[in-house]
């Protein structure tokens, strides 16, 4: 027979097991996620962060209610609350039994994480690219959607932030106000979540002509299209760069003395240069006086030692050649037509060196009192203010302003026409302006000099096929939509002894943009280049005599650029990729001259 003592271990084990079961406690756990679809407007408004909520759960695990403890915005708070109300939890267990519970939950809404849920949403713009010749799909065609007006979609708080976000959607990318994609084997392309507004659609493909169209995007309607693109028949002849201004000498240098060669105060520098005997004018257009087939990189100013590429307003348009240089603020201008190619590999045109100073026409002397002059012309209006110290000849200040108006554009349109040239830049040019500052001040045997050249170009954002007809464009001239302004300019300071020109110090920088600019090999260029340049130059001339002249020059340059690289060949033109970078260069130059004869 078993005694009570024999069953004691079993009794103790069973009692311990019962007590353990009764003492078990469990918190609620999420078993069904009730997340809802995130509306696009959450991304457009840039709403993100962490929301803290208090959730009431019954003994069956159903959510009875929830309250916002710490929210972000009503729109996002309501989404988080609705999501939790649709969720289901395992019930809380207390002493082995399900009981109602209250828990705190933190919901994180991060834009970079949310964008993945939009990868398969219905495209806003989609289409097919077909060959006009045989109707077959065009594979690997580059499709760009370019925004000129970044404020057209009022629901977007930060255009750049939103565009960079949706540029992460597979199949599309974003860079500098443009979305890009390429067609698949069926010629199809698609864009998702694009902001509303008027955009320019540009399609390029190897062996085909570039096609451009204006499209109005509306988030409430979807755009489907078929685009037939014509074949490209290349002109296989190579472009010849002809340098104008060369004489029989291998190194032709022309100088402009401290006087003006035309009536008025401010003129395009090319208008002045063409009046000089050694320089011949191109028969094609005003913007091609120095070098034919040139980009803005083909001419270079050196103002106070700061390299500044010839701006050619309106991205080099033949009808918009107004470099706006205040000639009255520059003197002793030297134009080197030949030697430039060896020292500056990226420049094949003219090197223009200038030292700012207050000057007047040869038949007028500079009066030591404030002067204000105004010049109105059919191209622009100019204002010039000069102030020279009565006692100190080396103390002076000069301010100048040049501005264009709609009448200028009307004249250019009638005189030159527009045709397809207006589609080459970032819109159609609508205005430009220039502001110059020139001054010098002598203090403790040192001469301080300063020069600033600040300008802007304005472009319209609405450009359609019907605008290629001059009569239509003139009719709509005052209703061109929003404008984009591109600032550019330079500033420099100089320092030298008042009575000794054997050494000079220059420092300054510049910011510019070009429709075509930096080269990447023989056939690739940046479609749009923004160039920032910082320069420091020290010139030291230890020997300055009539017979022997020796110069030493040191220069440091820092450049920053970014833009779309376009590969150009004789048979096609293809966008490669968006690139950006920096360049630093240090250079030393010296030259010596020995004069022979009387």
Count Cβ neighbours within 10 Å for each residue of 201-212 and write b for 16 or more, e otherwise. bbbbbbebeebb
Give CA–CA dist 340/253, Å, rounded. Answer: 11
Residues 505/507/513/519 CA torsion (nearest 10 deg): 60
The structure's pTM equals 0.45
Q: Nearest-CA neighbor of 208 among 134, 145, 146?
A: 134
CATH of domain 22-114: 3.30.2420.10
114 three-state secondary structure: helix
248 token code pair: 């029989």
In this prediction, the residues of the chain whose per-residue pLDDT falls under 70 are 1-24, 232-305, 307-386, 388-394, 404-432, 459-484, 501, 513-531, 539-579, 581, 589-598
Q: Nearest-CA neighbor of 356 among 389, 386, 391?
A: 386
Q: Nearest-CA neighbor of 217 among 124, 142, 126, 298?
A: 124
Percent of the chain with pLDDT over 90: 8
pLDDT of residue 125: 93
Vertex 421 angle, CA 419 and 427, to 5°:
105
Give CA–CA dist 311/433, Å, rounded. Answer: 12
| Whether the Cβ atoms of residue 555 and residue 540 lie closer than 8 Å to each other | no
Q: Nearest-CA neighbor of 120 among 192, 34, 43, 48?
A: 192
Element (H, E) at 574: strand 573-594
| Whether the Cβ atoms of residue 151 and residue 159 lie closer than 8 Å to each other | yes
pLDDT of residue 11: 61
24 token code pair: 């078990």
**What confidence tens digit (pLDDT) does each residue in 175-212 have?**
777 898 999 999 999 999 999 988 989 898 877 888 88
Residue that has been written with the tokens 């002493």 in this structure: 95
pLDDT of residue 195: 92
Cα torsion 95, 98, 101, 105: sign:
positive
Sequence-distant (6+) residues with CB within 8 A of 228 are 130, 131, 132, 135
45 three-state secondary structure: helix
| Whether the Cβ atoms of residue 145 and residue 194 lie closer than 8 Å to each other | yes
Please state whether beta strands 299-303 and 350-356 pair in parallel, antiparallel, or not at all (unpaired).
parallel
Burial of 113 (0-12, 13-18, 19+ CB in 10 A): exposed
Q: Nearest-CA neighbor of 216 among 228, 192, 200, 236?
A: 200
Where do the domains of the chain lie?
22-114, 119-229, 253-594
pLDDT of residue 552: 63
Give CA–CA dist 476/594, Å, rounded. Answer: 63
pLDDT of residue 242: 36
* Residue 148 dihedral angles phi and psi, to the nearest 5°: -95, -35
CATH of 119-229, one of 2.40.50.140, 1.10.3720.10, 2.60.40.1120, 1.10.645.10: 2.60.40.1120
- The DSSP code sequence of 477-538 is TT----EEEEEEEEEEEEEEETT--SEEEEEEEEEEEESS--BSSSSEEESSEEEEEEEEEE
| Whether the Cβ atoms of residue 270 and residue 301 lie closer than 8 Å to each other | no
Vertex 54 angle, CA 35 and 49, to 5°:
60
pLDDT of residue 381: 66
| Start-to-end CA span in the chain (Å) | 145
Please state whether beta strands 223-229 and 396-403 pair in parallel, antiparallel, or not at all (unpaired).
unpaired
pLDDT of residue 323: 40
* Residue 464 dihedral angles phi and psi, to the nearest 5°: -125, 170
Instruction: Say yes or no: do domains 22-114 and 119-229 share a fold.
Output: no
Q: Nearest-CA neighbor of 269 among 349, 373, 352, 384?
A: 352
């Amino acid at each position: 027979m078993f005694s009570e003592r024999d069953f004691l271990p079993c009794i103790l084990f069973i009692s311990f097991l019962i007590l353990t079961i009764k003492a078990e406690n469990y918190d609620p756990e999420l078993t069904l996620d009730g997340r809802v679809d995130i509306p696009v407007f959450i991304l457009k408004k840039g709403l993100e962060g962490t929301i803290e909520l208090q959730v009431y759960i019954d003994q069956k695990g159903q959510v009875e209610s929830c309250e916002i403890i710490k929210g972000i915005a009503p729109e996002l708070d309501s989404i988080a609350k609705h999501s939790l109300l649709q969720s289901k939890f395992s019930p809380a267990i207390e002493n082995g039994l399900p009981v109602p519970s209250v828990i705190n939950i933190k919901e994180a809404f991060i834009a970079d994480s949310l964008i993945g849920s939009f990868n398969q949403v219905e495209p806003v713009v989609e289409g097919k690219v077909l060959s006009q010749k045989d109707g077959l799909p065009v594979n690997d065609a580059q499709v760009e959607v370019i925004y000129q007006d970044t404020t057209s979609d009022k629901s977007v708080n930060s255009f750049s932030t939103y565009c960079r976000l949706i540029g992460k959607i597979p199949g599309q990318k974003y860079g500098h106000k443009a979305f890009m994609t390429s067609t698949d084997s069926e010629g199809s392309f698609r864009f998702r979540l694009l902001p509303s507004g008027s955009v320019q659609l540009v399609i390029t493909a190897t062996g085909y002509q570039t096609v451009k169209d204006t499209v109005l995007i509306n988030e409430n309607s979807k755009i489907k299209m078929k685009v037939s693109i014509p074949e490209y028949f290349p002109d296989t002849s190579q472009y010849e760069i002809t340098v104008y201004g060369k004489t029989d000498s291998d190194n032709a240098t022309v100088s402009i003395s401290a006087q003006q060669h035309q009536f008025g105060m401010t003129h395009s520098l090319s208008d002045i240069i063409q009046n000089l005997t050694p320089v011949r004018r191109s028969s094609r257009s005003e913007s091609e006086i120095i070098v034919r087939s040139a980009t803005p990189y083909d001419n270079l100013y050196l103002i106070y030692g700061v390299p500044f590429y010839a701006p050619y307003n309106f991205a080099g348009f033949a009808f918009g050649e107004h470099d706006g240089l205040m000639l009255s603020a520059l003197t002793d201008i030297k134009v080197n037509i030949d030697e430039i190619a060896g020292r500056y590999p990226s420049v094949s045109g003219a090197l223009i060196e200038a030292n700012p100073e207050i000057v007047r026409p040869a038949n007028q002397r500079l009066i030591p009192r404030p002067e204000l002059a105004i010049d109105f012309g059919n191209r622009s209006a100019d204002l010039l203010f000069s102030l020279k110290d009565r006692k100190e000849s080396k103390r002076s200040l000069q301010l100048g302003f040049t501005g264009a108006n709609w009448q200028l554009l009307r004249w250019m349109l009638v005189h030159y026409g527009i045709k397809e040239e207006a589609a080459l830049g970032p819109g159609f040019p609508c205005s430009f302006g220039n502001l110059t500052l020139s001054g010098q001040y002598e203090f403790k045997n040192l001469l301080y000099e300063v020069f600033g050249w600040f300008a802007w170009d304005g472009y319209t954002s609405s450009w359609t096929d019907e605008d290629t007809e001059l009569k239509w464009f003139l009719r709509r001239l005052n209703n061109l939509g929003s404008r984009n302004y591109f600032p550019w300019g330079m500033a420099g300071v100089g320092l030298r002894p008042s009575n000794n020109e054997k050494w000079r110090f220059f420092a300054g920088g510049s910011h510019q943009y070009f429709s075509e600019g930096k080269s990447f090999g023989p056939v690739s260029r940046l479609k749009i280049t923004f160039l920032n340049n910082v320069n420091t130059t020290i010139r030291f001339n230890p020997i300055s005599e009539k017979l022997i002249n020796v110069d030493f020059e040191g220069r440091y340059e820092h450049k920053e650029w970014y833009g779309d690289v376009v590969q150009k060949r004789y048979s096609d033109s293809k966008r490669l990729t968006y690139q950006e970078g920096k360049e630093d260069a240090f250079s030393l130059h010296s030259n010596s001259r020995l004069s022979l004869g009387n």
